[in-house]
Amino acid sequence: MTKKYTKRPLIAVTTDNKYVSPAWLAICFGIWLAGGKAVRVCSKKPKDAESFDAFLISGGSDIDPKLYGAKADPHKSYDIKRDKLESEFIHYALSAQKPLMGICRGYQLINVIKGGDLYTDISEMRKKTKNGIQLFPVKPVTILADTKVSRCLGGLTQTKVNAIHHQAIKSVADSMQAVAYDADEFVQAIESRTPHEAVLGVQWHPEYLFYIASQRGLFTWLVEQAISNRQTDR
């Protein structure tokens, strides 16, 4: 007989080391609404990856360009310890077949770990979209129909999202597929090509759009995948 688990699944959420993190609080709330329990993990307070049912790699500072074969900007500093921690968690999630989701930086890092690369700065490449921070959903995005991301968003193929980034995916990893684009054709979401591999990521920040039902669907997907995976494994 399959044992029924009633406890909320534990979702590891990787973040920076800042004492106050609005993104973490918003993600924690989104995961709680979806039925999960978020646990913050950062390089100052690492935790054992094996204790989690799923993983969310959150947004933040730029990834070290050396990870995808590009030159580092000498005027910028990179969080090498965070890169290392999140890379290890991504590798573990993939090898253990645990659900994995990335937001902004996290989605970019998943692509990099799987063999893709990034544009280090798209500011001069934008033609139809704006630079700068846009917390509210003002940027139109087109989503491929019948994909994991579209289903998470309630079947939408057109939506508006926020934009808090100056980097973007350049080449999508072979094992992943691009499933959403903005008006400048920059990739806005990726997911695994393998139907049963629970891996996806978005360039935007759904944690700041928790008041929109379709955006909450991304957290619901992660929690549901965690519950399903936990029951199968145990």
Q: Are 145 and 211 in contact (CB under 8 A)?
A: no
List Cβ<8 Å contacts ≥24 apart for 91-94.
92/49, 92/50, 92/55, 93/49, 93/54, 93/55, 93/199, 94/199
For residue 165, indicate whether it is catalytic.
no
- Among 42, 86, 165, 205, which one carries the catalytic annotation? 205
Beta bridge partners of 102: 57, 201
Q: Are 81 and 64 in contact (CB under 8 A)?
A: no
For residue 104, indicate whether it is catalytic.
yes
- Among 42, 104, 152, 224, which one carries the catalytic annotation? 104
Tokens of 199: 């891996």
- Among 42, 86, 191, 207, which one carries the catalytic annotation? 207
Please tell me what DSSP assigns to residue 45.
B
For residue 205, indicate whether it is catalytic.
yes
Please give the positions annotated as active site.
Answer: 104, 205, 207
